Chain A
Amino acid sequence: MSEEKKSIWQKIYSPMILSLAIRNLKLNKFRTILSMIGIVIGVFAICGMGMISAGFTEEMNSMISDTADTLTISPVGEKVIDGTTTTGFSAKDLRDIESAVKSVTKEYEFIPMYSSTKYIYIGKETTMASVSGMDANDLEKIATLIQGTLPRGSTNVVVGETFAEDNDLRIGSRMIMLNSGGQEVTSRVVGILEDTGVMTLGFSTSSAVVGSIEWYTGLVGDNHGLYDMVIVKAYDPTELTPIDDAIEKKMNGKEDKDSDDTVFILNSYEIMEIFDEIMSMSSIFTTIISGISLLVAAVAITNVMLMSVKERTREVGILRSIGTYRSQILQMFLYEAGLIGLIGAVAGTLLALTAAPIMLMAMIGSLDAMLSLSVLAYVPIGILIGLIVCLISGLYPAWKAANLNPVEAMSTD
Chain B
Amino acid sequence: MNSIPVVELHDVSKIYPMPAGDVHALNHVNFSIQKGEFVAIMGPSGSGKSTLMNMIGCLDVPTSGEIKINGKSTSEMTDDELTLHRRETIGFIFQKFNLISLLTAYENVEYPLILKHGHKDDTTRTRDLLRMVGLTDGQMQHTPYELSGGQQQRVSIARALANDPTFLLCDEPTGNLDSKMSMQIMEILTDLHAQGRTVVMVTHDPKTAEYAERIVIIKDGEIVNE
Among A4, A318, A405, the most chain B Cβ lie within 10 Å of the Cβ of A318
CA distance A83 to B118 in the complex (A): 100
Interface flag for A367 (CB, 8 Å): no
Interface residues on B, range: 20 to 34
B111 touching A406 by the CB < 8 A rule?
A: no
Residues of A near B132 (CB, < 8 A) are none
Select one of A16, A23, A322 contacting B86, CB under 8 A.
A322
Query: CA–CA, A347 to B88, complex, Å?
Result: 43
Contacts of A326 in B (CB 8 A): 79-80, 83
B102 on the interface (CB 8 Å rule)?
Answer: yes
A4 to B120, CA, bound (A): 16
Q: Find out whether the CB atom of A23 lies under 8 angstroms from the CB atom of B102.
A: yes
Check A322/B118 contact, CB under 8 A, given A1-B84, A406-B60. no
Q: Is residue B64 within 8 Å, beta carbon to beta carbon, of the partner chain?
A: no
Q: How far is the CA of A323 from the CA of B82 in the complex (A)?
A: 8
Are B159 and A325 in contact, with the CB atoms below 8 A?
Answer: no
Taking A27-B102, A406-B60 as contacts, is the C-beta distance between A322 and B87 under 8 angstroms?
Answer: yes
Question: How many positions in chain A have a CB within 8 Å of any CB in the partner chain?
Answer: 31
Q: Are A16 and B60 in contact (CB under 8 A)?
A: no
B92-126 near A? 1/0 per residue, CB < 8 Å = 10100011111100000001101111111000000
Q: Nearest B residue to A408 by beta-carbon distance?
A: B60
A-B contact pairs, 26 of them (CB 8 A): A1-B84, A6-B118, A14-B118, A15-B119, A15-B120, A16-B114, A20-B103, A23-B102, A315-B101, A318-B100, A321-B57, A321-B59, A322-B86, A322-B87, A322-B159, A323-B83, A323-B86, A323-B163, A324-B83, A324-B87, A324-B115, A325-B80, A327-B80, A405-B60, A407-B54, A410-B94
Residues of A within 8 A of B115 (CB): 16, 322-324, 328
Cβ-based interface call for A3 (8 A): yes
Does A4 contact B118, Cβ atoms closer than 8 Å? Answer: yes
A406 and B118 contact, Cβ closer than 8 Å, known pairs A322-B86, A322-B92: no
A20-B102, A326-B83 given; 11 more Cβ-contact pairs under 8 Å? A1-B88, A14-B118, A15-B120, A16-B120, A320-B83, A322-B112, A323-B83, A323-B163, A326-B79, A405-B60, A407-B54
Contact with B along A1-43 (1 / 0, CB 8 A): 1111010001000111000100110010000000000000000
A14 to B114, CA, bound (A): 10
CA distance A323 to B83 in the complex (A): 5
Give A18 Cβ to nearest chain B Cβ, in Å: 12
A319 at interface, CB cutoff 8 A? yes
| Shortest CB distance A16–B (Å) | 5
- A376 and B149 alpha carbons, distance in the complex (Å): 57
CB distance from A9 to the nearest CB of B (A): 12
CB pair B114–A323 under 8 Å, yes or no, is no
Least CB distance from B122 to A in Å reads 13
How far is B100's CA from A407's CA once the two chains are assembled, in angstroms?
15
Which of A3, A317, A322 is the one whose CB lies under 8 Å from B111? A322
Neighbouring A residues of B99 by C-beta, 8 Å: 318
CA distance A321 to B87 in the complex (A): 8
Interface on A for B, CB 8 Å cutoff? Answer: 1-4, 6, 10, 14-16, 20, 23-24, 27, 314-315, 317-328, 405-407, 410
Residues of A within 8 A of B117 (CB): 2
Taking CB atoms, residues of chain A closer than 8 Å to B94 are: 410
Query: Within the assembled complex, what's the spacing in Å between the Cα atoms of A315 and B19?
Result: 27
How far, in angstroms, from A16 to B107 measured CA to CA in the complex? 10
When distances are taken between beta carbons in the complex, the residues of chain B under 8 Å from A10 are 118
Q: Output the least CB separation between A333 and chain B (Å).
A: 14
When C-beta atoms are compared, the residue in chain A nearest to B16 turns out to be A408
Q: Which B53-86 residues have C-beta < 8 A from chain A?
A: 54, 57, 59-60, 79-80, 83-84, 86
Identity of the chain B residue whose Cβ is nearest the Cβ of A315 in the assembled complex: B100
Min CB gap A408→B, angstroms:
8
In the bound complex, residues from chain A placing their C-beta under 8 Å from that of B83 are 320, 323-326
Contact residues in A for B112 (Cβ distance below 8 Å):
322-323
Within 8 A of A (CB), among B117-143: 117-120
Expressed in whole angstroms, the minimum distance between the Cβ of B35 and any Cβ of chain A is: 17
- Docked Cα-Cα span, A78 to B111, in Å, equals 93
Per the bound structure, the CA–CA distance linking A321 and B99 in Å amounts to: 11
Q: Is the CB of B111 within 8 A of A407?
A: no
**Residues in B neighbouring A27, C-beta threshold 8 A:** 102
CB-CB under 8 A for A16 and B98, given A1-B84, A3-B84, A321-B59: no
Give complex CA distance A318, B114 in Å.
15
Tell me which residues across on chain A come within 8 A of B163, comparing CB atoms.
Answer: 323
Given B59, B100, B118, B120, which contacts A319 in the complex, CB threshold below 8 Å? B100
Whole-angstrom CA separation of A24 from B87 in the bound complex: 23
Complex interface: chain B residues within 8 A of A318 (CB): 98-100
CB distance from A190 to the nearest CB of B (A): 75
8 Å CB contact of B116 from A2, A6, A14: A2
A2 to B60, CA, bound (A): 24
CB-based contact B88/A407 at 8 Å:
no
Task: Decide if A24 touches B60 in the complex (CB within 8 Å).
Answer: no
Contact assessment for B86 and A321 in the assembled complex, using a CB-CB cutoff below 8 Å: yes
Cα A192 to Cα B118 with chains together (Å): 69
